[in-house]
Amino acid sequence: MTARMRLDPQAIGLGMTSQRVRDRLIERLREGAPNGGGIRDERVLNAIRTVPRHLFVDEALATRAYEDTALPIGFGQTISQPWVVAKMTEALFVDGAQPKKVLEVGTGSGYQAAILAALGLEVHTVERIGELLRTARKRFRTLGLNVRSKHDDGRIGWPENGPFDAIVVTAAAPALVDALTEQLAPGGTLVAPVGGGNAQSLLRLRKDANGVIEQTTLAPVVFVPLLSGLVD
């Protein structure tokens, strides 16, 4: 079922969060990042244009919400650069097909999950930091988004709700996590940053009907590390 966002004028924002500012961001995403191509999928661009990113950052940073840059959200975490969010989302639409059920590992601010939900996907998201998850849930409710969330170790995934047509990992591990690839349905797509420090690559994995995985490197990226355990 397609998510419907109940946005009021205050949520849409004025001034530095106006539609004109958002449209400029969309043009930058079309142009692409220095080490990656432009975003071409109009569904993704429309979701980025529609979802109010300024509601997913601290009020003091709202005027920077539509810059194409990562911003801090506390607890050593960030809201990802819009180009990265768009690139990861677009990578799920292989040959134009849209997945139905997606797992996000690392809810963070909730922005990536909101983009996926705005596209009509059935979103399941896992976050290890309790305070971040509670804040993200409030944002989902404010925007009328039906996102299923869980406070748990993201490296475990959400096996009882799998398998998933797509998995998005929003933090970097030195290698792919077997527990997550196992929860990917045949024909599914997993997008994740892999590597350490500043030597990370955004990878796309496709699992065929026989469980064989094909890997593609999309772009160099920098993400926070994928950690184990829970923080309340």
Q: What is the pLDDT of residue 17?
A: 66
Residue extents of the structural domains in the chain: 9-221
- Reference 5, options 86, 114, 92, 122; nearest CA is 114
Q: What is the pLDDT of residue 64?
A: 94
Per-residue pLDDT of the chain (232 residues; tens, 9 = 90+): 344 444 443 444 445 567 889 999 999 999 987 777 899 999 999 999 999 999 999 999 999 999 999 999 999 999 999 999 999 999 999 888 899 999 999 999 999 999 999 999 999 999 999 999 999 999 999 999 999 999 999 999 999 999 999 999 999 999 999 999 999 999 999 999 999 888 999 999 999 988 899 999 999 999 999 999 999 8
Torsion over CA: 77, 31, 28, 122 (sign): negative
Q: What is the pLDDT of residue 19?
A: 83
Partners of residue 124 on adjacent β-strands:
103, 148
Partners of residue 150 on adjacent β-strands:
126
Q: What is the pLDDT of residue 16?
A: 58
Q: What is the pLDDT of residue 13?
A: 46
Q: What is the pLDDT of residue 36?
A: 79
How far, in Å, CA of 169 to CA of 75, rounded?
18
Pairing relationship of beta strands 71-74 and 77-79 according to DSSP bridges = antiparallel
Q: How far is CA 71 from the centre of its chain?
A: 14
Q: What is the pLDDT of residue 3?
A: 45
How far, in Å, CA of 38 to CA of 33, rounded?
7
Q: What is the pLDDT of residue 87?
A: 97
Kindly report the pTM of this predicted structure: 0.91
Check if the beta carbon of residue 180 is closer than 8 Å to that of residue 169.
Answer: yes
Q: Which fold has domain 9-221?
A: Rossmann fold (3.40.50)
How far, in Å, CA of 49 to CA of 27, rounded?
10
DSSP state of 94: G
Residues 6+ apart with CB under 8 A from 36: 83, 87, 218, 219
* Virtual torsion, Cα 145, 44, 18, 134, nearest 10 deg: 30
Kindly list the catalytic residues. 80
Label residue 10 exposed, middle or buried (CB < 10 Å: 0-12, 13-18, 19+). Answer: exposed
